[in-house]
Structure 1
């Protein structure tokens, strides 16, 4: 099927498609992002769906053998989505200021020059799954996301995998009945937070035009949105290379083990990351890729089936 919009470009820096936007996928069954079979001349390809102001869109982004990138789009929002593809794949990400400091980080940084920080530009769309992931097992949140998007999202335009959907519009999130949240395993606190934010979705999306620190402060002024959630959103929607997910159940422990061989508190983690100020999110990604892995031990978040209440 001929795309409604097409863009091919060669970025001034290496870009690894999977390492750059693979983390935007919310689990292996995320209906809004899936790997696509690579065509001749392609190293990798990924399908994504989104909702632009002009309408829904499906895009197929590909990393070509010669290092260039291609984005094809279908749907009413295709032109806007394709035009934004360079930012999605890290065009705004400037890693030149990054100083590895540690030999292990330096080696990993050199081995993965194509790992960029993506920027989707859609704050509300990044906020909903982040809220779903608050204080629950990641797999449980990903299952809720899949159930809700499949049940209440829109059909994805173009020649996409039949399992793909476009995430619900803000108005749809607002109208979901309590039993829909309950059936997906989402407790009232998280569902209320999403509904409240959906009522302000337009204003929330306008935060993408602000510096990340200001955008995060405004997000955190909303009930139910804290430091962890705003960081998760900033990493994806705003392309913030400095956003650290403070309050994460595991992150400080993993960073502590990689850097010091022991668990850390959030305060200790922030102190340890100070040499990378301005680039701490990038540092976290590289530290986790290069440092020793923390053994699985100790308390874990319990799976709480909210459908039973």
Structure 2
């Protein structure tokens, strides 16, 4: 297999001219949509769009500036990224890592038939690694203690209101998530309008002020990265794991404290309810790949605990 080709400037793609582009063959089988889909924050995410041709458009903020990136899979063993904007060069150069180039499932042992089947049927599922810590942290904080739909609604509102216009020929209007400085300057009433309670708002604002220190977690070990993240008031083990899964490419980051996860895994793998402590003991055989197990079960459509009670309710903080 050939490795990544050199980043090229000004690349024609039909009627579209990309400012930077990269084509490569990944080390491991990689399914573009299964891998990058973990980065989307709901169907209306202003930073993510899949067009009618199957290409994924995603915006990001690099050290060099904002960028719009277009990811495609021309062949089963070939991936391509094209970029526009001031941050396009570095965004395109980091595309292989974002699409799981560092993710090595070589020592993953499913151990049971259910996981073996899921792994065999989803050979291209990789764990992404964006390398952008605060970019993953802000939406993870919004998802604390509320239903996912509510968090995604808040994310959409805030990104549209305070983000930057996406550069390049996006197929629909898109936005780049706000910079840490912009997150830190959002007025109290705007958080309220977006349905974000004061505790989550304070957590994001405080973390934004230390964003540069948080970005250092990219070069740390998983345990040191988690320690750095959880130094922030309001950022616990669950939030740190959600960040590690996306920004750090951590295939072991298990979202302990999740409202549903322990019972989902308990029923999917062992047919019973579980506490978080029981889940941690039961997942020990897959140490190093516990998040991979969660992703594989989801990709295989494995059902968890039968629903017996009401869903978590939508809490409208704008009415409080």
User: Per the shorter chain, which TM-score range?
Assistant: over 0.9
CA displacement at 1:162 relative to structure 2: 3.2
Aligned to 2:315: 304
- Which of the residues 52, 56, 72 maps onto 2:62? 52
Tell me which of 31, 37, 59 is aligned to 1:16: 31
Counterparts of 1:80-91 in structure 2, within 5 Å, are 80-91=90-101
What is the CA–CA distance in structure 1 between the aligned matches of 2:294 and 2:315, rounded to whole Å? 29
TM-score, length of structure 2 as denominator length: 0.93
Residue 156 (structure 1) aligned to one of 159, 163, 166: 166
2:198 corresponds to 1:183: no
Q: Conserved in 2, the CA contact under 8 Å of 1:255 and 1:288?
A: no
Q: Does the 8 A contact of 2:265 with 2:304 survive in 1?
A: no
| CA distance in 2 between partners of 1:268 and 1:286 (Å) | 20
> 2:247 matched to which residue of 1?
237
Cα separation, 1, equivalents of 2:87 and 2:150: 31
Aligned to 1:2: 17
Q: CA deviation at 1:298?
A: 1.9
Q: Which residue of 2 aligns with 1:286?
A: 296
* 1:168 match: 178
Q: CA RMSD in A?
A: 1.1
- 1:57-72 alignment to 2 at 5 Å? 57-72=67-82
CA distance in 1 between partners of 2:76 and 2:111 (Å): 31
Query: Where does residue 25 of structure 1 map in the other structure?
Result: 40
Q: 2:130 matched to which residue of 1?
A: 120
Unaligned runs of 5+ in 1: 39-43
Describe the superposition over 1:95-126 as per-residue Cα deviations: whole angstroms up to 9, x where unpaired: 00100011110011011100000000000010
The secondary structure found in structure 2 opposite 1:12 is: coil
CA distance in 1, matches of 2:166, 2:284: 43
Deviation at 1:163, TM superposition (A): 2.7
- Displacement of 1:258 in angstroms is 0.7
Q: 1:135 aligns with which of 145, 148, 152?
A: 145
Q: Structure 1: how far apart are the matches of 2:206 and 2:27?
A: 41
Checking the alignment, whether the CA contact within 8 Å between 2:266 and 2:304 is kept in structure 1 is no
Alignment partner, residue 94 of structure 1: 104
Give the distance between the partners of 2:26 and 2:239, measured in 1 at CA.
30
Q: CA deviation at 1:202?
A: 1.0
**Is the CA contact 1:258–1:288 (under 8 Å) kept in the aligned structure 2?**
no
The separation in 2 between residues aligned to 1:305 and 1:265, in whole angstroms, is 29
* 8 Å contact kept, 1:254–1:288: no
Tell me how far 1:203 sits from its aligned partner: 1.0
- Confirm or deny: 8 A CA contact 1:17 1:45 kept in the other structure: no
- What is the aligned length? 304
Residues 142-190 of structure 1: per-residue CA shift (max 9 Å, x gap): 0000000001100000011333100001111111100100000000000
Q: TM-score, normalised by structure 1?
A: 0.96
The alignment partner of 1:119 has SS state of coil
Tell me, what secondary structure is at the counterpart of 1:252? helix
Q: CA deviation at 1:292?
A: 3.8
Provide the rounded CA distance (Å) in 2 between the counterparts of 1:26 and 1:169: 17
Q: Distance in 2 between matches of 1:165 and 1:79?
A: 19
Query: Which 5+ residue runs of structure 2 have no aligned equivalent?
Result: 1-15
